[in-house]
Amino acid sequence: MTELLPNYVNGRWQTGSGEGAALIDPVLATELVRVDATGLDLPAAFAYAREQGGGALRALSYAQRAVMLAAAVKVLQGQRDAYYEIATANSGTVKNDSAVDIDGAIFTLSTYAKLGEGLGDRHFMLDGEMARLGKDPLFQSQHVLTPTRGVALFINAFNFPAWGLWEKAAPALLSGVPVIIKPATATAWLTQRMVEDVVKAGIFPPGALSIVCGSSAGLMDQLQPFDVVSFTGSAETAAVIRSHPAVVRHSVRVNIEADSVNSALLLPGEAAGSESFDLLVKEVAREMTVKSGQKCTAIRRVFVQETMYDAVAAAISARLAKTTVGNPRNESVRMGALVNRAQLVSVREGLHTLQQHADTLYDGSKQEWVDADPALACCLGPVLLGSRHADDAAVVHDIEVFGPVATLLPYRDSAHALELVRRGQGSLVASIYGRDVSAMAKTALALADSHGRVHSVSPDVAALHTGHGNVMPQSLHGGPGRAGGGEELGGLRALNFYHRRSAIQASTAVLTQLG
């Protein structure tokens, strides 16, 4: 039997008492490791994190906690090669795709270490200026932000086992809040290994960082009034979390990132072969194939003016045709596998549903894989769909196929384009391509209310923009409506989720003593 990965709770490593769930190589179909959380004393684990981890973290200043984040960065940097090997085996990703997760995680952690330095030796943050409560300025109100005296429970998705861990944990730990991580079972190995390396380095105080691998049963039951929970995954599971008795009874703060049918929009007036045209084509193809399309921010719908439909379809198809799919260990492969057999089945089913309502413009699903057995590998080539009747293609606006699939849709004019994009009912990101800066600014503002991020790409930033699907720690990650209504990152804004805002009403003399 393969190795059973230990959990880290109550300040010590513990294996579950069951056989555990097997983590499988999605290309070779071999068993890698097992994870299990059966028999763990969860009430004690949460109490230990709150009391020991929380108390120790809050005793430190922001700057002191920032030093710890920086130390964790060095540990992770020293183990990058091992993380890449795990990602290849467990997630089936090529090296460049693994970098998005692993190096993106380290960069995000490093960013919050630097942000924390600027907060200095304080233990709380002022929120705004003092406001007088009467004619005489002697008695005033000052809002403050103090770390919550609870634990942060993270229930993460399978597609970013490294970045998903640290983009949540970095602002939480910097805030002074201990974290308990529940990684998605399918790819828990990388998350567990990163936590293990940091814990063994003795960087954070006991109880500050815990991990539970395997089933999530019982975790939500442990939540208390000052705890917070952050979830990334399906809308169905998000609904269960929001309605959980512990959340409802204790008013537990919840952050959700759920389904998102993201868009790319080529503005009117662009010709085939123009710089903006080429930028759109390149980005769509890239977003369809990076991590085999298994990104919550990937482009799912592509909007172009009616006269550009055929040209864009041909250009994207030509670019996708150059994508080699197969074993990520082969250097000629540019796109690896879906994460497991269940996801392959899900993507195939979703693709079949979309194909009932859209034409198949490019079908890479039947191409031969490089160095991979079709009977074993969870590979699927990129598929570009299209419908000339965007208004009638309701399913295309509603279903997110979490794989290398996107749909091309035409619009009549700018107003029609905005209407179609908004049919996504709230998304994480929309990207805009064009050269008319006035039109781009107007469109960005028009889409801002229904998107967490609007990524505008004009020819002058062709070599500078960070990418439609790349989540930068300086910018907000999250989205309204069906995207979950949550907010993560955005620089120091991320710390707000882990702090409680309170108004202190006192004499000016007292308020000035706050610091």
Indicate if 289 and 244 belong to the same structural domain: no
Strands (E), 214-298: 228-232, 253-257, 262-266
Q: Let me know if residue 70 belongs to a domain.
A: yes
Indicate if 157 and 122 belong to the same structural domain: yes
For 91-149, the pLDDT digits (tens) are: 999 999 999 999 999 999 999 999 999 999 999 999 999 999 988 889 999 999 999 99
For 304-362, the pLDDT digits (tens) are: 999 999 999 999 999 999 999 999 999 999 999 999 999 999 999 999 999 999 999 99
Please indicate whether residue 257 is annotated as part of the active site: yes
CATH code, domain carrying 63? 3.40.605.10
Catalytic residue among 257, 283, 400, 487: 257
Select from 207, 175, 254 the least CA-distant residue to 499. 175
State the pLDDT at residue 391: 96
For 436-481, the pLDDT digits (tens) are: 999 999 999 999 999 999 999 999 999 999 999 999 999 999 999 9
Q: Let me know if residue 66 belongs to a domain.
A: yes
Please indicate whether residue 378 is annotated as part of the active site: no
Residue carrying structure tokens 């702090």: 499
Q: Let me know if residue 229 belongs to a domain.
A: yes
CB 333, CB 94: distance < 8 Å: yes
State the pLDDT at residue 216: 87
CATH code, domain carrying 425? 3.40.309.10
Catalytic residue among 213, 270, 287, 296: 296
Structurally, the chain folds into a number of domains equal to: 2
Q: Let me know if residue 182 belongs to a domain.
A: yes
CB 231, CB 257: distance < 8 Å: yes
What's the one-letter identity of residue 310? Answer: D
What is the extent of the structural domain holding 287? 262-473
Select from 470, 347, 479, 388 the least CA-distant residue to 425. 479
Q: Let me know if residue 482 belongs to a domain.
A: no
End-to-end CA distance of the chain: 58
CB 17, CB 36: distance < 8 Å: yes
String of b and e for 109-140 (b: at least 16 CB within 10 Å)? Answer: bbbbbebbeebeeeebbeeeebeeeeeeeeeb
Strands (E), 67-206: 125-132, 139-147, 152-155, 179-182
For 24-66, the pLDDT digits (tens) are: 999 999 999 999 999 999 999 999 999 999 999 999 999 999 9
